[in-house]
Each structure stands twice: as C-alpha cells, then as structure tokens.
C-alpha cells in the first residue's frame, strides 16, 4: 500500500464500493473532481410531464467538446426524493445533471438507475456518489460493468481527453432480478429487468405517477440503433413492449418525449432490415466482410451516425444468425 492511499481522505460508501475498480484505473478521481466542481453548469432539461425532466443529448460519438453528453438523461421528482435515470458519458456531464436537479428541487437524490451498461449512460454516476443513493440496475449490470470497466475507462480517456477528468465506473448496489419498485413519495417507479436485447442488461423504468416509460436504448430515434446484445431477442422484446401502454416514452437516444408505441417503429424497421439482409447474405454464402459493406444500406439515409455504427451491427448480427 502506498503513502498516497494511506493519506487518501475518507470516502463515502458508494465511492468505497467503486474504489477497487476505479482507483487503479483512475488515480486522479478525487482531486480532479474537486477542481471540476468549481465550474459546473446545469444541463438544460425539459419537463415532459409533471416532475419528470429530460436532458436531450446530441447525436454524436463522445468527444472532448460534447464530453460524452450524447444520450437522454432523466430525473423524476417525488415528494420525498429524486431518482436519476442515466447520468451521461463523463463525470462532468453527471455534475451538470446534478446541478440541473438542484435548480428544480432541494430533495435528496435517493436513487441513480442505469438503463444498461453503455458508457454514455453510466459514466456520470460518480457525480452522485456524495449523495449516497442506491445505484440500481439490471441484475446482470454488475458483472457486465465489472468485466468491461478497464476497457470502458481506457476508451473514455481516449475519446474525452480533458473532459474525462473525475470519471469512474460505479458498480450498482441494487440488482433488479425481475421487477423492483422505487418509492419516491407520492409516485412509484417500476424497474423491470428485460431479457437480452440491446444488451444483456436492459432495464425499463415506468413512472406510475405520469405513466412515462424510460426505455433506455431499447428505443432509438434519429440515431442509428446499436446492437450489443441479441437481434432476435430485441425484436421479440419490442413486440412485448408495444403491448404495454404508456402515455409517453423517453427513448435512450432521440426526442425527449414520444408517443408509444409509435416511437418504436423506426428501431423495429431497421432491426428487421438488418436481420433480413444478413440472413440473405449468409444464405448466399457471402463473407461477414462482404455483408458489413452491403447489409442494411437501404437504411443509410434514414439515420444519423449510420456509417459509424452499421458495419458493427452487421458483424454482431452475422455472428448471431450464422448459427440459427
């Protein structure tokens, strides 16, 4: 043990939980965070239903200018506390979200819920460590994040440059097995663990107070869907979700509030085209490389970030469908 770790100030419970993973990967956590705290601008948020706020991230890859602010981030205010749903792609984005919450309510942040493991959704979690919330996620999130912690942190450092400061992986303290209720006072959130689709740890959250469903990346709008789970599972799950009525949904990427199930139409169309084209390529004896250049090209003009993500989706789909 080094002198440095002996003199490290006392950390909060949640920081302690992430310590073993993050201290090695990110030695600068605490000091960088203090430096950062001086310049915190609240993220703009839209109240999509009473007490339900959404920050709309840009459609882009994470870079130093956008700081990883590239997906939708939300919070729900009850009469006793606040639940945050996804925290952004860096500690800086998380602090901006926290500042936005402080502008709306003095109530404590009691829960930070992650819709799934992807860095643009979870890397802001450390900004809430001092609030000592319950960090909730799908029961498979813990393992998924632990396995990828090092590679996610390395990639984020490279993508974010100076905007990486303070960023850590925070492991969940509550794993949702099937369904969990979060009582915020006067309104309850129902978090539901879903079977493998966009990832193997997708969680949907329904705010019963406003009948709003946060789909995470099970629904993409405008931004090309990215496949990191199971294509057939995702299509099957969308059929199930479409039958669960909601007043509105907040997609992982896209407008902050949308009609349901209309919001799922584009994601579903793309995933079906992807599956059809990849199946045809396999049946015709094409190589994966060939499929990566040709499959789903008819969707190219319908999405942002198509060229950045489609080839990878095809390779994931090919690997899955090759054996069906």
- Beta strands at 212-220 and 248-253: parallel, antiparallel or unpaired: parallel
Which of these ranges, 91-99, 137-145, 210-218, 255-263, lies near Zn ion under the rule CB under 5 A? Answer: 210-218
Binding mask of the shown chain, residues 10 to 39, with x at each position contacting Zn ion by CB under 5 A: ------------------------------
Q: Contact, 127 vs 94, CB < 8 A?
A: yes
Cβ distance to Zn ion smaller for residue 82 or 144: 144
Residue placing its CB nearer to Zn ion in the complex, 110 or 313: 313
Structure tokens at 279: 């199946």
Q: How far is the CB of 197 from Zn ion (least distance, A)?
A: 10
Closer residue to Zn ion in complex, CB, 15/228: 228
Burial of 31 (0-12, 13-18, 19+ CB in 10 A): exposed
Whole-number minimum distance, CB 324 to Zn ion, in Å? Answer: 24
Query: Which window, 30-38, 115-123, 255-263, 315-323, contacts Zn ion (CB under 5 A)?
Result: 115-123
Q: Is 171 exposed, middle or buried (0-12, 13-18, 19+ CB in 10 A)?
A: buried
Q: How far is the CB of 288 from Zn ion (least distance, A)?
A: 22
Distances (CA, A) of 40 to 29, 56, 122, 273: 16, 18, 19, 43
> Least distance in Å: CB of 12 to Zn ion?
28
Closer residue to Zn ion (CB): 33 or 198: 198
Give min distance, CB of 286 to Zn ion, in A. Answer: 28
Cβ proximity to Zn ion: between 131 and 217 the closer is: 217
User: Least distance (Å) from Zn ion to the CB of residue 295?
Assistant: 20
- End-to-end C-alpha distance for the chain, whole angstroms: 51
Q: How far apart are CA 5 and CA 27, in angstroms?
A: 10
CA distance 184 to 245: 22
CB count, 10 Å around CB of 292? 20
**217 forms part of the interface with Zn ion (CB under 5 A):** yes
Q: Which is nearer to Zn ion, 184 or 205 (CB)?
A: 205
* Contacting range for Zn ion; rule: CB under 5 A; set: 111-119, 180-188, 229-237, 241-249: 111-119
Nearer to Zn ion, 66 or 110 (CB): 66
For Zn ion, the closer CB: 175 or 251: 251
Among 56, 59, 111, 118, binds Zn ion (CB under 5 A): 118
Which residues, 6 or more positions from 3, have their beta carbon under 8 angstroms from its beta carbon? none
Output the smallest distance, CB 9 to Zn ion, in A.
34
Residue 41 is classified by DSSP as P
- The yes or no reply on residue 202 touching Zn ion (CB under 5 A) is no
- Count of chain residues binding Zn ion (CB under 5 A): 2
Minimal distance, residue 71 CB to Zn ion, in Å: 7
Instruction: Kindly write down the DSSP assignment for every residue of 26-47, as one continuous string.
Output: -TTHHHHHHHHHTS-PPPP-EE
Is residue 86 at the binding interface for Zn ion, with CB under 5 A as the rule? no
Are 88 and 97 spatial neighbours (Cβ–Cβ below 8 Å)? yes
| 3-class state of residue 52 by DSSP | strand
Q: Select 165 or 227, whichever has its Cβ closest to Zn ion.
A: 227
Q: How far is the CB of 217 from Zn ion (least distance, A)?
A: 3
Separation CA 193–CA 191 (nearest Å) = 7
* Cβ 187 vs Cβ 208: under 8 Å: yes
Asked if residue 276 lies in contact with residue 240, where contact means CB atoms within 8 angstroms, the answer is no
Q: Which residues bind Zn ion (CB under 5 A)?
A: 118, 217
């Amino acid at each position: 043990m080094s002198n440095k770790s002996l003199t490290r100030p006392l950390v909060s419970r949640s920081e302690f939980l992430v310590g073993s993973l993050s201290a090695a990967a990110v030695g600068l956590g605490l000091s960088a965070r203090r430096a950062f705290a001086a310049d915190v601008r609240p993220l703009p948020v839209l109240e999509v239903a009473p007490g339900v706020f959404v920050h709309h991230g840009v459609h882009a890859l994470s870079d130093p200018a956008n700081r990883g602010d590239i997906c939708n981030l939300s919070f729900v205010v009850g009469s006793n506390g606040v639940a945050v749903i996804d925290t952004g792609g860096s500690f800086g984005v998380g602090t901006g979200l926290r500042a936005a919450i402080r502008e709306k309510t003095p109530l404590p942040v009691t829960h930070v819920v992650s819709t799934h493991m992807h860095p643009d959704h979870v890397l802001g979690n450390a900004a809430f460590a001092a609030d000592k919330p319950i960090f909730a996620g799908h029961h498979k999130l813990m393992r998924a994040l632990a396995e990828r912690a090092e590679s996610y942190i390395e990639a984020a450092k490279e993508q974010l440059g100076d905007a990486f400061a303070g960023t850590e992986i925070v492991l969940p303290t509550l794993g949702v097995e099937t369904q969990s209720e979060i009582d915020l006072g006067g309104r309850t959130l129902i978090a539901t663990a879903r079977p493998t689709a966009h990832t193997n740890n997708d969680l949907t959250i329904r705010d019963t107070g406003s009948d709003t469903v946060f789909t995470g990346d099970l629904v993409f709008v405008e931004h090309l869907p990215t496949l990191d789970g199971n294509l057939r599972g995702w299509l099957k799950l969308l059929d199930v979700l479409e039958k669960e009525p909601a007043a509105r949904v907040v997609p992982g990427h896209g407008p902050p509030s949308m009609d349901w199930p209309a919001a799922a139409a584009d994601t579903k169309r793309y995933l079906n085209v992807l599956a059809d084209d990849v199946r045809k390529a396999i049946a015709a004896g094409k190589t994966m490389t060939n499929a990566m250049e040709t499959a789903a090209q008819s969707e190219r003009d319908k999405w942002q970030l198509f060229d950045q993500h489609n080839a990878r989706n095809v390779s994931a789909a090919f690997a899955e469908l090759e054996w069906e």
